[in-house]
Structure formats: structure tokens, C-alpha cells
A and B are shown apart, each in its own frame.
Chain A
Amino acid sequence: MAKVELRNVYKSYGTTEIIHGVSMDIADGEFVVMVGPSGCGKSTLLRMIAGLEEISGGDIAIDGRVVNNLEPKDRDIAMVFQQYALYPHMSVHDNMAYGLKIRGLPKAEIETRVQRAAEILELSKLLGRRPRELSGGQRQRVAMGRAIVREPKVFLFDEPLSNLDAKLRVQMRAELQALHKRLGTTTVFVTHDQVEAMTLAQRMMVMNAGHAEQIGAPLEVYGRPASTFVAGFIGSPPMNLIPGTLAEGGAVLLADAGARVGLPAALPKFDGRKLLLGVRPEHLEPCDEAAALLVPDVDFIELLGSDVLVYGHLGADRKGARVAARLHGSMAASDGHLALRFTPKHMHLFDAETGKRIEIE
């Protein structure tokens, strides 16, 4: 077990810079998820920690030792790949034992470790099979087993669940959490799936185009997104973002297409400022027209059983900002309008230029 430190890490391929200075301290035993859209550089960053990619700038330290110039095998890490990367010509047993044999462990010790890992992952009956004789979920387990038996300082996962079907994914998520609780090994987990990130992470790093947009605990990131990017990426459906200018002593947002959105509490100090108002769909609630802060025209409705998703537009002729609302039970729409309000606690403001969060207090 060990802590992992990223200190201002850069990566370039030729003249193209892919990672633009990322820093993070990962504590001993922590489960950290790096999440971001496809192509934002998550795998590249993970592969730099593994030693599969050179580090163009900055330092990566594992257990207090800078590993920039160490080979993967000398970093004491284990990695699980998206495509599993099992050795196709070896049995499940040999796949798991391969790394141990190379490290010259005594035979008895290898057997003990393989058997124990097989037990944890319910692979005991499959040890003699070849990878091609296994289902996707079983292969995934073998890949994890191969990492576990090594008892490394750090586990690295690169989208290990994205090739599984939805149900299996949920199950494996639970197993991963149980495994982490049991072994307590420092883990860096990469995914593009925000649900996976929210459920697995103790802390997460939201990445955007090679930058770390925000680092924090899942609820922190959800509750106080640092930028419009994070606000749009975490949460489903994403946070409503309504651009406009604050007016009338900071009590009203003048949005596009003549729409007016009231603020639950006036903000005189931001009067006249151009910004984006953010409210999550689940924080909008229906109310009387008189108490309404915004009244979008309804475009369509999705019934989810427990909830209703209402999609609409603000402003004249539906030309304003899009708004989504997640309402409990049945819908309270009247003749195509929906009167909505929200509390000050659930209001977010972002700078119109930079997209960064504006602290209200």
C-alpha cells in the first residue's frame, strides 16, 4: 500500500500537448476515480502512472519515490485493462500465476495466492480453462485476479467495466467496492461513466481536455461543481444552465429570448453581471404561477415510473434556454406551461466568460 502523488504532470506527443499539468495527492488506501469524456486523457494519465507512457513534464511518485524513470515492473503496480488483456494461450491459473513466477516466488506461495484470489473472485472451478472459454464477466474477474495475486502497492483500472452489460456492471461495481474494503489497496480507477465514478469513488478527479477540472468527494463535486463543465458532466440529466444578465438589484436573470428567471434570494452585489444560472433538474419543484421563478413551455415528457422528466424551453416561441425538470409522481403542467421554483441552497452561478463557479457567499 502506498500513496500516489501527481505533481504538475504533463504529456505531449510530439508537439501536441495532451495533459496540461495535473496534480493530485492520492492517500494510502484511497479509492480515486478519474472521470471525463472519451479522449480527455484519462488513459494517458493512468498509463503514465503505470509506466507505459513516458512523462513529458512533472513528477509522479509512488510511496514517496519518484518513479518517472522506472520500468512498469519496478513500480509495484498492477493494472486491469479495458480489453482484459488475458494471455490467450494460458489457463486462468497460469494467467494469474505468470507475474508471480517471474518474480520468483516459491511454488507453494504462488499456489496459496492463486487459490485465495480464485476463492475471493469465485474462479476456483475455472482455473483450468482458457480465457476464450469464459464469459465477459468471468474474464473481467480473471483480469482482476491477476492484479490481486501480485499484492501490489497500487491498483490501476482502465475502464474495466465498460465491456460488460448493464446488470453485470452494477454487480461488478459492488464486488469492486467489497474488494477494496477487504484489501485496502490504493486504487486509481478510470471511467467515462459518471454513475460509476459517483458510486465507486472516495474522491474523484473530473477531467476535461487534459485538465483536472475538479478534485473532490463525489457529493462535493455534485453539490458544488467547480465549472459549467463539471456541472454538465456529473448528474443525469445534466444541470440546467441558463445564460443571462442579472438585473433589478440582482433579483432577476434576464435570459435569452426575453425570458425572465427569478432568483430565490436577490444578489445585489452581482447586479448587472453576465453569468450562467445553474439548477439541477431534481432540484426544480412545481408550484403556483404566483410563486414561480421560471415558467418553461413544455416540449415533451418522459415517464420513469417513480419520476417524471419534463423537458421544455424558456422564452418566447421556445427560443430561450432548455430546461429539464425531474418531478416526483404525476405532473403538474397546465396548458403546456410548467411553473417551477427552487431554493437558494440549490442555486449555482458560473462566470459567463470562464465558466468557473462564482461563490455566492
Chain B
Amino acid sequence: MAEIDVTLAELTGFCDESVGKLNAVMTNAELLAVKEAVHAPSTPLATLQRAMRSIAPEDRPRIGAAVHEVRSRLEEAIDVNERRVNEVELAGRLRAEQDDIAAYLHPGRLRGTGALHLLTQTRMMLEDLFIGMGFVVAEGPEVETEWHNFEALNIPKFHPARANQDSFYLNYGEPESTLLRTHTSPVQIRLMQASELPIYAIVPGRVYRRDTPDARHTPAFHQLEALVVDKGITFANLKATIEAFTSAYFGPDIQARLRPAYFPFTEPSAEFEITCTVCKGLGCRTCSGTGWIELGGSGMVHPNVFAHVGIDPEVYSGFAFGFGIDRLVQMKVALGDMRILPENDLRVLAQMRGVL
């Protein structure tokens, strides 16, 4: 039995030595080497485990308990040190992976997300504002017939108003029968021809005038037109609607006012002006010292226009008003020269990423 006692002493020694080694390892590779040594077939532990059958029954509990204890101690030491080494290695890896987000915060102005054009953003804001008031959004073609663009709007040939809207006529159909629309108003005609009454609609869109480009005018620009046709619509309604729109879009400290004007397709007709947004009405260069800025035209739908589309002006009445969208953009973002817009310079477009 002395042989086994000796072996037990060896077992304890082996265990203490192994635990010591395990506690000392610094890497998973070292740990693996120690683990292999611990699990090798030649260790005192393995020897005793193999010899268990040949041990006398009365000795088995004592020796079995010793083997069990050594095994537990070794497993625990492996477990603990495995976790310790993993932690150390993770910490080391994380240290090695150190990085700075600033390196990725400067992609260059032209990279990253794109943007909706300011004209689109402005148009959407305006559309949403009128949708909130109960209007629908209508559209029409940019190439129009002379009839829709002029004749039906009570602007016969040689009418002085045609001279103010110098047109791009097209070589399409009869001479001077088609043109690039000079205003969004022909869509009024299309709406009244096609829609059920009542109509509460806005018409945003691109229009064309044969003007030499300058800082404030490009041959193509954008308008937004509103048309209301219903029973009992009055000039007083027109006034209130323009006031509601201007205070919603520009803010409550901006007033609107109407003054007599002439448009062939409305009667009575009015220009509408708003408090100068630059000087808030005090007078400045933008408003030529008047405190007011002209925004657009408006009026009650002319009975002749109703006659062209077969609406009885004794039963229905209506109003229309319109203004330039580009002008609003220009006012909002202080854009000095409208001619840069069709260039689509990326440095300009990149400034459109924000919120208006």
C-alpha cells in the first residue's frame, strides 16, 4: 500500500504544481499547453485513475475522494484561468483596436446623403400648407395649346397682356398653336373642363417666358396657382385665403394686402403684397423703401373664362391667385442669382441637405 501512499503524495504535488502553472499563464496558447500537460496520460492523476480498479476496496473511498478533489481543483483552476486569460486577451485586443470616429466624420462635402432640390422642398411645404386647408394638388402639361394658355383665359390675340408674357411658340401643329406655357393658369381651364365642382385646388409647376436671363429671371421658372370654384365664393374669401396662406408661410408678423391690378382672366383683379420680410415693413432696399413686396396676382374668375368652360357664372363663382415659387426660395435663402440653379453645381446642391 505504501506504493499508493507515495502516489497520493505525488498526486497532491502534481495538483499544487499544475494549479501554480495555471495561475501563471498569460495567454490562451500557454493555457492550452498547461491544459495538455494536466490531461496527459502520464500524470499521477491519470495513473491513479487507471489504477482504481486494482485498489483494495477498503482503500477506494479514501483514494477516490483524493482523486476527485484533485480533479475538481484542477477543473476549477482551468475554468478560472480560462476566463482570466480571455479577459486579458479581449482587453488587449480592444486596446489594439482603438480608433477615433473623427476619422470618419469628414467624408468631404460632396459625399454622403443627397438632397431634394430647394424648389422641391419649397413646393412641398406650400403643397402641404394648402393640403392642410383642404386643397388638392393638380398638374398640367408644360407644352400647352394657345387656346388654353391665352384664348380661354380671356386673352385674345393682340391683347396687350400677351406682350407681357412673351412666349416660346413651338414648331408643332399650326403656327402659334402650341407653346411652352407662360403661366400655370391654363391648368385652371383644364381643371374646370375636367373636374366635378366644387374645385379647391393648387397647381404648382414650371412655366416659361421668353425673357433674357438675369439675376432674378430665368426663362424657365415656377409658379403656384390656386383655384377655387364653388357656390358663394367672394372677393372677401380671396382676401382671407391669401392672408391665411401668407401668415402660415411667412409667419404671423407678415401682413398681406391687395391692390387693384389687371389680369384678363380675373375681375376684379388684385396684386397681392406682403410686408417686406427683410425690414418687416420699415422700408429697405429690397422693398424700394415701401415696406411691401409684391408677391403675386389674384382675382375673381372672369365670367368670360367660365363661359369658355361651360360653368354658369350666375350659379358658381370663384377666385384664383398665383405667385412665383422661385421668388420665395430666393427670399428664404438669400439666393442672389437665379441663373446658377440650372447649372446644378454640386457645391450648391450640397447646401440643400438641411431643412428649410
Report if A and B associate in a common complex: no
